[in-house]
Amino acid sequence: MPDIDPWGDVEIGNYKQKMKDFGIEPITDLEDKLPDSHLISRGIIFGHRGLDEFLEAKEKGREVAMMTGIMPSGVFHFGHKSVVDQILMYQEMGAQITITAADIEAYNTRNMSLKETREIVIEEYLTNYVALGLDLEDADFYFQSEGGNNYHLRSKQFARHLTQNEVEATYGSAAPSKITSALTQYADILRPQFKENGGPKPVVVPVGVDQDPHIRLTREIARKYREADFYKPASTYQKFMRGLQGGKMSSSDEKSHIALTDSAEDALQKIDQAKTGGRDTLEEHRKKGAKIEEDMVFELLAFHLIEDDSELERIREEYSSGEMLSGELKQITKEKLENFLVEHKQKREEARPIVKQYLQNR
Ligand code: TRP
């Protein structure tokens, strides 16, 4: 089996080991060149490949781009939101934005129909992206199934540069559904450099570390493909937010996630039931303090609900010293979460006609 399976269950943690095994660079080296974002200061983005080249080009005022995609497999939850936060960060930096809805991948690897995936893309993804602040007018958004002739042509041409051994060593399998999804993804990643899209330029691809196998092979293909002078795509890697009960956060497990469309009532109940790092007795908690690394409520605050670093640090100190109790932490979180969800619901209503219009005019 390969060490990372982009279609399998994601393994959470062990980020240091993965960086070592796969040659992923720590993001901390580039911290001063990156915008001031909680994604960086809290280590949510932890590593990169080749981001130096991207940042240098940006500094010199050259054109740069960001490309990413999500497989439309179910509800959009807080675990997905970090990718959108990253998209917004790069949009603010002035990068061109390309986003794909990976419907061919969902068709081939998740047994879904294209129609089903389209509904999910519109309702769960695009509407949330826009509600979270993405400027769609300023982005190249496309469904893989509608990527255009040149995109599909190149995706097929890229096959020439891979061997069966390489594919099996990287993915653990050379099943046609996986090869097809992978070839499609290479074309996604190189798309911002196609001549129709302004030609070669540095591109960054923000992803979870499970997608690194695709990044590695796309970098190989970029080097070998003769018909264009592609830059090797750069990437940044983000940590996976864990599920509310600990373990994996998953779209199919209601209790593990909070969807951005959950009612406040449901969401607050999930917080009540979430795993915390509080101690068994009050006495023990006061004495030893919370095990903050095992607290899923704190994780939600850190990833999404508190912007101000000093506010988060204050909570971290009080909670880990035992001064703050789990119930109090949950109370703070519930207030922030409710505000977020109520406001987001309103923003989704405003986003809906924008998305509709965008899809019509494409
Ligand atoms: N494979 C990604 C996922 O499972 C989706 C995806 C498709 C993607 N094309 C991409 C991600 C290009 C980054 C870049 O979610």
Q: What are 53-100's pLDDT values in tens digits? A: 999 999 999 999 999 999 998 999 999 999 999 999 999 999 999 999
Q: What is the pTM of this model?
A: 0.95
CA-proximal residue: ligand 1, atom 5 (nearest): 70
Strands 203-208 and 234-238: parallel
Is a pLDDT exceeding 90 seen at residue 344? Answer: yes
What is the number of H-type helices and E-type strands within the chain? 16, 7
Phi/psi for 155 (5° steps) reads -55, -40
Is a pLDDT exceeding 90 seen at residue 12? Answer: no
In testing the pocket of ligand 1, which one of 4, 9, 66, 71 has its CB within 8 Å of the most ligand atoms? 71
Cβ(203) – ligand 1 distance below 6 Å: no
Q: Could you tell me the two tokens for 356? A: 């509709």
Residue found by looking up tokens 């979430």 in the block: 274
In angstroms, the CA 337 to CA 20 distance is: 36
Ranges assigned E (strand) in the chain: 25-26, 45-49, 65-70, 96-101, 139-143, 203-208, 234-238
Q: What is the DSSP letter of 60?
A: T
Whether 348 contacts 126, CB under 8 Å: no
- Angle, alpha carbons 109-112-113 (nearest 5°): 130
Q: What is the DSSP letter of 239?
A: P
Whether 161 contacts 224, CB under 8 Å: yes
- Ligand 1 atom showing the smallest separation from residue 206 Cα: 13
Cβ(207) – ligand 1 distance below 6 Å: yes
Cβ(121) – ligand 1 distance below 6 Å: no
How confident is the prediction for the chain on average, in pLDDT?
Answer: 96
Please report, for residues 154, 176, 192, 336, the alpha-carbon distance to residue 51 in angstroms, rounded to integers and kept in the order given: 25, 32, 16, 34
Residue 133, helix vs strand vs coil: coil
In angstroms, the CA 322 to CA 36 distance is: 30
Is a pLDDT exceeding 80 seen at residue 1? Answer: no
In angstroms, the CA 362 to CA 264 distance is: 35
In angstroms, the CA 8 to CA 66 distance is: 25
Cross-strand bridge partners of residue 66: 97, 204
Q: What is the DSSP letter of 23?
A: T
Is a pLDDT exceeding 90 seen at residue 296? Answer: yes
Whether 335 contacts 305, CB under 8 Å: no
Q: What are 236-251's pLDDT values in tens digits? A: 999 999 999 999 999 9
Cβ(66) – ligand 1 distance below 6 Å: no
Whether 361 contacts 137, CB under 8 Å: no
